[in-house]
Amino acid sequence: MADIKKVVLAYSGGLDTSVILKWLQDTYNCEVVTFTADLGQGEEVEPARAKAQAMGVKEIYIDDLREEFVRDFVFPMFRANTIYEGEYLLGTSIARPLIAKRLIEIANETGADAISHGATGKGNDQVRFELGAYALKPGVQVIAPWREWELTSRETLMAYAEKAKIPVDFAKAGKKSPYSMDANLLHISYEGGVLEDTWTEHEEDMWRWSVSPEKAPDVPTYIELTYRKGDIVAIDGVEMTPATVLAKLNEIGGANGIGRLDIVENRYVGMKSRGCYETPGGTIMLKAHRAIESITLDREVAHLKDELMPKYASLIYNGYWWSPERQMLQTMIDASQEHVNGVVRLKLYKGNVIVTGRKSDDSLFDTRISTFEDDAGAYNQADAGGFIKLNALRMRIAAGKGRSPL
């Protein structure tokens, strides 16, 4: 890849990507375009501009992608009630295809020969970024410094930065964070530090968005979420944009101790990894969406969605958002949401999300039929006898042939 003249780098302005920027300039003797995404991580992204300029970067992209992130990635994922390995709400995974998409768009706009990222060779993110990039631009060249260079620790990165006079806050960089963290509007993740011992309890002061359930208010908070075609469009009757919805739910959920998770997951590259996740808004969204679907979805459609969901979750976790199979599943999922409209009422209390009501003009819940009172002939109970006998027929035949399970 010696002929590379311009590279688009996913750039945060921190130690790692600042070193990568300089390393790309030195190693490939190329021009670097920086791209910094605001996905709602809660930190200022504009300072990255000054840092990039100080290192001679001429083309600098700083994009507010919060609405696109929630509208086109988070909401479609939650229409499927997506969780990985029974618990993880995929907060890191779902951000990667959007970053990959924007990297490729910028590469096309600037005539760049390659893209670059700061993901390590041990994790899932390298796979997610690169699978997305190749799906969107088959011939793109990818530079993954962590798989090429000999800088193997934070200390070696700092030494490189100091020697190269890279504008990094060394006092701040020298304070080794106990955790590797990733944040966006959907979640914050924590890895490393004491979490590498699976028997050690996570530290209370680690959490950033939520109070502990023990310290949450003693009085529950009630909220009402309005759904339109499977997406939340209003909270307590107030219409909001997708990003505003998620930000508001994070605020309300965090105040009530909701959304903490401590799991050991299976990475795509083969190793197990322990991570803690804070996903207050997403935890509320999952519970509420299942509640509105419970009255608006046909039984077999709901059950089929539940069967397909683990596959859909694995595709997102492993980096296949832009694959044809994920797009096919999305078409099916989105079609199922046509009548997922209505309102869900929730009670939030000390880490718990409790459904207390759901209503919809598209509800399939028929009180006349399901009532325990007199149904005035809406349902003929005698019909159940034949239904049961027909469903038992194959087992009755087998038992008659001496194949009784006893």
Which domains does the chain carry?
6-65+91-176 (3.40.50.620), 182-359 (3.90.1260.10)
Predicted pLDDT of residue 329? 98
312-341 core/surface letters (b: 16 or more CB in 10 A; e: else): bbbbbbbbbbbeeebeebbeebeebbebbb
Distance CA(173)–CA(17), nearest Å, equals 12
Residue 125 among the catalytic residues? yes
Distance CA(106)–CA(124), nearest Å, equals 23
Query: Hey, which bits of 3-128 come out as E strands?
Result: 6-10, 31-38, 60-64, 114-116
**124 annotated to bind ligand:** yes
Residue 334 among the catalytic residues? no
**105 annotated to bind ligand:** no
Q: What is the pLDDT of residues 38-50, one digit of tens each?
A: 999 988 888 899 9
- The active-site residue, picked from 79, 102, 113, 125, is 125
Distance CA(296)–CA(361), nearest Å, equals 9
The single residue listed with the structure tokens 């009085």 is 219
Q: Name the CA dihedral angle for 17, 317, 323, 77, rounded to a multiple of 10 degrees.
A: -110
**370 annotated to bind ligand:** no
Please provide residue 392's backbone torsions phi and psi, each rounded to the nearest 5 degrees. Answer: -90, -5
Predicted pLDDT of residue 177? 62
- What tokens does 89 get? 């709400």
**109 annotated to bind ligand:** no
Predicted pLDDT of residue 194? 94
**88 annotated to bind ligand:** yes
Distance CA(88)–CA(309), nearest Å, equals 13
Distance CA(60)–CA(33), nearest Å, equals 6
Predicted pLDDT of residue 179? 86
| pLDDT tens, the chain, 406 aa long | 558 999 999 999 888 999 999 999 999 999 999 999 999 998 888 889 999 999 999 999 999 999 999 999 999 999 999 999 999 999 999 999 999 999 999 999 999 999 999 998 888 999 999 999 999 999 999 999 999 998 888 789 889 988 888 877 655 555 556 788 899 999 999 999 999 999 999 999 999 999 999 999 999 999 999 999 999 999 999 999 999 999 999 999 999 999 999 999 999 999 999 999 999 999 999 999 999 999 999 999 999 999 999 999 999 999 999 999 999 999 999 999 999 999 999 999 999 999 999 999 999 999 999 999 998 999 999 999 999 999 999 999 999 999 988 8
**205 annotated to bind ligand:** no
**128 annotated to bind ligand:** yes
Those residues with Cβ within 8 angstroms of residue 368's Cβ, 6 or more apart along the chain or in another chain = 375, 376, 378
Residue 267 among the catalytic residues? no
- The active-site residue, picked from 38, 66, 79, 96, is 96
Distance CA(96)–CA(334), nearest Å, equals 21
| Amino acid in position 21 | L
**18 annotated to bind ligand:** yes
Element (H, E) at 180: strand 180-183
**11 annotated to bind ligand:** yes
- The active-site residue, picked from 63, 154, 180, 294, is 180
Q: What is the pLDDT of residues 194-241, one digit of tens each?
A: 999 999 999 999 999 999 999 999 999 999 999 999 999 999 999 999
Predicted pLDDT of residue 183? 94
Residue 299 among the catalytic residues? no
Predicted pLDDT of residue 246? 98
Distance CA(175)–CA(337), nearest Å, equals 48
